[in-house]
Structure 1
Amino acid sequence: MMGARKAVITGIGVVAPGGIGRVAFWDLLTAGRTATRPLTLFDATRFRSRIAAECEFDPIAAGLTAEEAETKDRACQFALVSADEAMADSGLDFQALAPERLGVVVGSAVGCTMRLEEGYLVVSQGGEQWLVDESQAPPGLYDYLVPSSIARDVAWRCGAEGPVSMISTGCTSGLDAVGHAAQLIEDGSADVIVAGATDAPISPISVACFDAIKATSPNNGDPEHASRPFDRRRDGFVIGEGAAIFVLEEAEAAARRGAHVYSEIAGFASRGNAFHMTGLRPDGREMAEAITVALRRAGLAPEDVDYINAHGSGTKQNDRHETAAFKAGLGQRAHEVPVSSIKSMVGHSLGAIGSIEIAACALAVEHGMVPPTANLEQDDAACDLDYVPKKARKHQVDVALTVGSGFGGFQSAMVLRRAERQET
């Protein structure tokens, strides 16, 4: 009798602030370095928050063609580069795979925002004309309008003819995309899925939106220390960008070919709070429920959790809400297990960050090291867990829990588990 199908990670690709590729990304995290700087992608003089975690990204140097560099939005470029790295890392021969058993799931909160905004400015004469001149539209404007164009491009890249989808659930998109991909493998819809998320939201429209609700940090004088989750002085998140893409495989097939497995996607759940567009209930009930269900699906108990990757955005309400959720979902274990937020180092890349944080968890399992919460210097009495301040910590991680919280009330949780060693 065959066992239940499981999804495992066999390839990781990352484009993140502070370094391109999973090795540079992990080096940044374990060194506790921050990649938050003054914003340079456009003139931010008129904005309240003028800082960001930008990727030092050259599409040609990263392996894209001149045509891709010219026609693809930055978010799509991040996804393609990350997918290339993940596919190479997996060791799979994608050309030999049955294309109908190969799928793609990509998450993004804001899609091709940068090129879409640029195109709109062209056809509207800088936003002055309500009636736009479509004859001036750049050739790719329709693709920039439709976020699924990113999933399509990744599918064409790897030759996928199985299930291909785009997930856009705000800041939980990266978690939800990988969770959906794992479920497709578990239910037999595909054997291999290229999955993850990407966002390049550092554009005037996105920055203006977060400025309007004062969600981002105004600490322009000290951008390196502006992202400080769980610190008493925190005053908002720092917007970021990036992507992380994974190769997920059915576990038994990965074992048969002797693949290197980073971790198993052991459990996933999502919930909504039906409460407020940007507000959170202080008791964290919906996130706690997502945590409980994810652990149940993994067949694990709170005592099994070795590390929690927090959403940890650095806003007053999120960090207190999340702390309450950990206590409600894990009980006493919440006070015993290390918790950290990598947004302190790479900022908040909206829909992409959930996948970037999955990469951090998989690498924590791989290396037995917990990333720190940089810039955490002053305790908040309402945030009283072990947040691994400033320095990475050697720590055996067999089970990692990662969570996300998004505007609209989205709450997601995923459990990653060290894969069982296969006898050869």
Structure 2
Amino acid sequence: MSVISPYGLGKAAFRDGFTAGRSALSKVDVADDLPYVEAGVVDGEAVSVLLRDDCDLNSRSQRFIGRPSSLAVGTLALMLREHDLLGEYAPAQRALVLGGDLTTTDRAMDLMYDSLTEELPYHVNAKQLPSTAMNFPTTQCAVRFGLQGPNSTITSGRVTGLSVLNYARRLHRAGRAPMVLAGAVEDLNARRSWITWHGLAGQEPRPLGEGCCVFLTESAESAAEHGRTPMAEVLALEFGTTLDPARATEALTTRIRRALASAEVDAADVDLALLSGVDGDAEHAAVTGVFGADTPAVFPGDLIGDTAGASGAFQLAAALSDPAAGLAVLTAVDPDGQVGCGVVRILSRH
């Protein structure tokens, strides 16, 4: 596991902050005119130093690739500090699946604004065009680290983190790559803030957060061959959709029960449930309905902010950090009706 979060750089910083229950939210400058007063912000200067030292990216290059790509590239750089994946696998064997929600929307809106307001529609900054594509952070990671295997970008709202794990699992099952780096990234900017606020339909604005989590996924045999101790095993993943938001609890309850059956575990065996929403109304109702009120329900977003498309990845990071988690359930509900559930067995923490 590799993490860049509002707690700092690295999985140790995240683990220490999360297990201590320490809030990583900080006050937002009133002059920024944003619809919230707190946010979980990553130290941009620390990321900049990491990219300069580990990836040989100067400040100009970092401005070009943008904040989402900087977070993703930096997180992979931390992973490669710990594991010599470039030496262990040929370029075509190195796969990457990276998810997100609004990661390139900010730059896409910049380009669209210029196209609508300049004298002619094509009077835009052409250098910005690549960074408006949804898969730009993924491709930047592939270019920087020679990841020439399957390269995929996933975006499915709050369900993204679970969808990324599912996609990585399918690549493994199909024999497409012996090693898949799977993760999600979300950055914090003014446009994402206002887009999210307008989507709340009058609800209280929730603190937003940003960051990136990446997981090295491989078979148990591959891990043993390279001297790695597995941290977790994905036992089951289930997904669904409901057209009626009022039935989200019912839809998620069904997926939780299916996931438990697929994993061949009982509800009583689950030690911890990790929820994607900061408020978690529909999720909490479903989790309580299946597991009862005694099973701890954790909202990582309460501590680091709502990371949207990266929330599922941070839920898994939290499960890997929580000393009480032996068997964990991850849930997600997106406002557009998507729901998801994952069952994960924690094997070790290192």
Asked whether the equivalents of residues 236 and 313 of structure 1 are also in contact (C-alpha less than 8 Å), the reply is no
TM-score, normalising length from structure 1?
0.74
Asked whether the equivalents of residues 283 and 332 of structure 2 are also in contact (C-alpha less than 8 Å), the reply is no
Distance 1:169 1:150 in 2: 16
1:404 maps to 332
Distance 1:247 1:131 in 2: 48
Look up the equivalent residue of 1:97 and give its one-letter code. Answer: Y
Counterpart secondary structure, 2:251: helix
Distance 1:291 1:148 in 2: 30
Map 1:48-127 to 2 at 5 A: 48-58=35-45, 59-64=47-52, 65-66=57-58, 67-89=60-82, 91-121=83-113, 123=114
Asked whether the equivalents of residues 143 and 149 of structure 1 are also in contact (C-alpha less than 8 Å), the reply is yes
Structure 1 unaligned runs (5+)? Answer: 1-11, 218-234, 369-394
Counterpart secondary structure, 2:167: helix
CA deviation digits over 1:279-322, x for unaligned, max 9?
Answer: 4426x1211222223223323221221111122422xxxx3321
Look up the equivalent residue of 2:333 and give its one-letter code. Answer: S
1:168 maps to 155
Distance 1:97 1:244 in 2: 21
Aligned residues: 342
Aligned-residue CA RMSD (Å): 2.4
1:151 to 132, 135, 138: 138
Map 1:305-384 to 2 at 5 A: 305-314=270-279, 319-328=280-289, 330=290, 333-364=291-322, 368=323
Bigger share in helix: 2
Map 1:198-237 to 2 at 5 A: 198-203=185-190, 205-214=191-200, 235-237=204-206
Map 1:227-306 to 2 at 5 A: 235-275=204-244, 279-281=245-247, 284-306=249-271
Distance 1:143-1:399 versus aligned 2 partners, 3 A rule? same
Distance 1:362-1:130 versus aligned 2 partners, 3 A rule? same
Asked whether the equivalents of residues 102 and 160 of structure 1 are also in contact (C-alpha less than 8 Å), the reply is yes
1:400 positional shift: 1.0
Distance 1:86-1:182 versus aligned 2 partners, 3 A rule? farther
Asked whether the equivalents of residues 99 and 160 of structure 1 are also in contact (C-alpha less than 8 Å), the reply is yes
Distance 1:196-1:93 versus aligned 2 partners, 3 A rule? closer
Counterpart secondary structure, 1:63: helix
Distance 1:33-1:324 versus aligned 2 partners, 3 A rule? same
1:216 positional shift: 8.6
Distance 1:344 1:134 in 2: 43
Distance 1:339 1:417 in 2: 16
1:39 maps to 28
Distance 1:211-1:257 versus aligned 2 partners, 3 A rule? closer
Structure 2 unaligned runs (5+)? Answer: none
Look up the equivalent residue of 1:335 and give its one-letter code. Answer: A
Counterpart secondary structure, 2:49: coil
1:260 positional shift: 2.3
Asked whether the equivalents of residues 172 and 406 of structure 1 are also in contact (C-alpha less than 8 Å), the reply is yes
Look up the equivalent residue of 1:290 and give its one-letter code. Answer: R
Asked whether the equivalents of residues 175 and 358 of structure 1 are also in contact (C-alpha less than 8 Å), the reply is no
TM-score, normalising length from structure 2?
0.89
1:119 positional shift: 4.3
Distance 1:110-1:306 versus aligned 2 partners, 3 A rule? same
Distance 2:309 2:320 in 1: 18
Asked whether the equivalents of residues 114 and 200 of structure 1 are also in contact (C-alpha less than 8 Å), the reply is no
1:135 positional shift: 3.5
Asked whether the equivalents of residues 158 and 276 of structure 2 are also in contact (C-alpha less than 8 Å), the reply is no
Distance 1:146-1:308 versus aligned 2 partners, 3 A rule? same
